[in-house]
Amino acid sequence: MSYTALYRKFRPDNFADVKGQDHIVTTLTNQIKHNRIGHAYLFCGTRGTGKTTVAKILAKAVNCEHPVNGSPCNECAMCKAIQAGTAMNVIEIDAASNNGVDNIREIREEVSYRPTEGKYKVYIIDEVHMLSVGAFNALLKTLEEPPSYVMFILATTEAHKIPITILSRCQRYDFHRITIDTIAARLDELLKVEGIEAEEKAVRYVAKAGDGSMRDALSLLDQCIAFYLGQELTYDKVLEVLGAVDTEVFSKLLRKVIQGDVTGSIHILEELIVGGRELSQFVGDFTWYMRNLLLVKTSEDPEEAIDVSSENMKLLKEESTMLDVETLMRYIRIFSDLSNQIRYATQKRVLVEIALIKLCRPAMETNLDSVLDRLRVLEQRMDERPVQQVIVQQGNSVSGAETGAVVAAAEKKPPAKAAPEDLQKIVAGWRVITGQTTGMFKQMLQKSIPKYNGETGEPILYVEFQDFLGQSYVDDPDAKKELQDIIAAQTGKSVEIEMLVANQHQHTNLADITVDQAIRDNIHMDVIIEEDPDEPQE
């Protein structure tokens, strides 16, 4: 006898075996027990959730000679005939290939004849949303007033495509996605019947890969069993067959991204590709991993929100402290966009590498969340920069208490006096400095021009207000101190400040401060000013 796939071999034949759809099973069994059977049912839901299976069980139950608690007995002649697909009064129609008006007209002609056996003539129309407009119209009258012995069961994955006139004439039942726990428990039952040993972790991964579909999970399990026939099914073997990636690899990759290590990230990707991992699935799984990380960071009770092992939860909690929410949302956005692009791409690897580089190098993007990520990287580098304190003492060794006293004294030591070069650096960061002030003072400073005495070169910063309203700050010691404190915090230098109002002071040798040297010091290259060849030489 030929092999039968697991999803066909273990298809439920009564309501008690249907998993994850208790709300539908309870309603239908109550209707059958109390003889309140409707004439038209609409079963909606994603693939593999049990729509067609429940439709066949319902067809058996309404025709069963000895129903048990609303469920078919599977022992009478009618149940066996329907189960074998030989019953004349249960007609299955695939609307995807029989979607014309003529097909529905045949049904209208047939319903006038009573069933040759059993109580009901049942029409199961699968993928009913594929019917044409004319076919729907032809079905409408029959569906509205069918004979008492006729029942319609319509099944669809896209209920929104069905006309409202059809929907209003049916009892609608929405099939839910089946939970991972329910699928895993069912897989465990079937593995015991088949006599196959499997790790719990492996079974749960297959259940998760089923994505709410019992049929998909059974097909994946069948594939894994066939690859390692006669062997125990382990977690690593499941990952290898399905081309999936372990969450430990995601954790390792994410830490490389947080560190900005492009080379390390690309090496991990290389290992995955060499190992035969499928890139589209990798992108989806990594996005899901970051989604879990976001829930851990934002949820009050992450254990309830995420279905992961205690080991993975520990890793997620540790990584959640390494990132802020904005950065994590940027990562998810980039990989979500990538999942749409990679579907039809020929160079999938290149797209994934570019996405990883974007994660590691936020400067490549100009939107707000990338700017916040760049600030995070800068702050991290500043925190990691070592602070060296050299204490030199001649003679005897320094005790621990004396060392602490010297260090404390060094910390209290006022910053060094600003030199003329430092004035250039202050002016280079003038927008940042003035941006930290408030109110009218901030407005005056942003319009002001920082200058110095070009004749003496003294390290005095002259702040020349261009508006007469700046006169109120010229003699205000609090305003001067506020600006000095900001400059000291920004540059580590104290500077003497004198505030002036343009055209109202006696200093004739004030000059604007150029920042050429500051630019050279920061970007390590000379500033070259090109001359206009058409300009006459002096």
The position carrying tokens 């600006």 is 483
Distances (CA, A) of 57 to 25, 82, 214, 364, 435: 10, 9, 17, 58, 72
Write down the pLDDT at residue 368: 54
Write down the pLDDT at residue 24: 93
Amino acid at residue number 227: F
User: In angstroms, rounded to a whole number, what is the distance separating the alpha carbons of residues 505 and 449?
Assistant: 14
Structure tokens at 465: 């207000």
Distances (CA, A) of 276 to 206, 239, 291, 321, 356: 18, 10, 25, 32, 19
Write down the pLDDT at residue 301: 80
User: In angstroms, rounded to a whole number, what is the distance separating the alpha carbons of residues 10 and 193?
Assistant: 10
Write down the pLDDT at residue 495: 83
User: In angstroms, rounded to a whole number, what is the distance separating the alpha carbons of residues 341 and 360?
Assistant: 20
Per-residue pLDDT of the chain (538 residues; tens, 9 = 90+): 467 888 888 889 889 889 989 999 999 999 998 888 999 999 999 889 999 999 999 999 999 988 888 889 988 888 888 888 888 888 898 888 877 888 888 888 888 888 888 889 999 999 999 988 888 888 888 888 888 899 999 999 988 999 999 999 999 999 998 988 899 999 999 999 988 898 888 898 899 888 888 999 999 999 888 888 888 888 888 888 877 667 778 888 998 998 888 999 999 999 888 877 888 888 888 898 888 888 888 888 877 777 666 677 788 888 888 888 888 888 899 998 898 888 888 888 999 999 999 888 877 665 555 555 666 666 666 665 554 444 444 444 445 555 555 455 444 445 544 557 777 778 877 887 888 887 778 888 888 888 888 777 677 888 888 877 778 888 788 888 888 888 888 777 788 888 888 887 777 778 877 765 545 554 444 444 444 445 555 4
Q: How far is CA 62 from the centre of its chain?
A: 46
User: In angstroms, rounded to a whole number, what is the distance separating the alpha carbons of residues 51 and 155?
Assistant: 6
Write down the pLDDT at residue 500: 87
**Any idea what DSSP says for residue 510?**
E
Write down the pLDDT at residue 327: 85
Question: What's the burial of 420, exposed, middle or buried (CB within 10 Å: 0-12/13-18/19+)?
Answer: middle
Write down the pLDDT at residue 525: 42
Structure tokens at 265: 């990230």
Question: What's the burial of 200, exposed, middle or buried (CB within 10 Å: 0-12/13-18/19+)?
Answer: exposed
Structure tokens at 416: 């060094």
Amino acid at residue number 170: C
Which residues does residue 154 pair with via DSSP β-bridges, in sequence order?
42, 125
Q: Identify whether the C-beta of residue 336 lies closer than 8 Å to the C-beta of residue 294.
A: no
Which residues does residue 40 pair with via DSSP β-bridges, in sequence order?
152
Q: Identify whether the C-beta of residue 237 lies closer than 8 Å to the C-beta of residue 203.
A: no
Distances (CA, A) of 228 to 191, 196, 222, 281: 14, 11, 10, 22
- What lies within 8 Å, CB to CB, of 91 at 6+ separation is 107, 110, 121, 122, 123, 124
Structure tokens at 44: 């909606």
How are beta strands 449-453 and 460-465 bridged, if at all? Answer: antiparallel
Structure tokens at 404: 């602490």
The position carrying tokens 């003329």 is 420
Could you please report the per-residue DSSP string of 88-157?
TTEEEEETTT--SHHHHHHHHHHTTSPPSSSS-EEEEEETGGGS-HHHHHHHHHHHHS--TTEEEEEEES
Among 495, 471, 492, CA closest to 483: 495
- What lies within 8 Å, CB to CB, of 331 at 6+ separation is 257, 290, 359
Query: What is the edge-to-edge ordering of all strands in the sheet holding 150-156?
Result: 90-94, 121-126, 150-156, 40-44, 171-174
User: In angstroms, rounded to a whole number, what is the distance separating the alpha carbons of residues 284 and 13?
Assistant: 35
Write down the pLDDT at residue 524: 45
User: In angstroms, rounded to a whole number, what is the distance separating the alpha carbons of residues 538 and 536?
Assistant: 6
Write down the pLDDT at residue 488: 84
Task: Calculate the dihedral angle through the C-alpha atoms of 415, 418, 423, 425, rounding to the nearest 10 degrees.
Answer: -40
Which residues does residue 126 pair with via DSSP β-bridges, in sequence order?
94
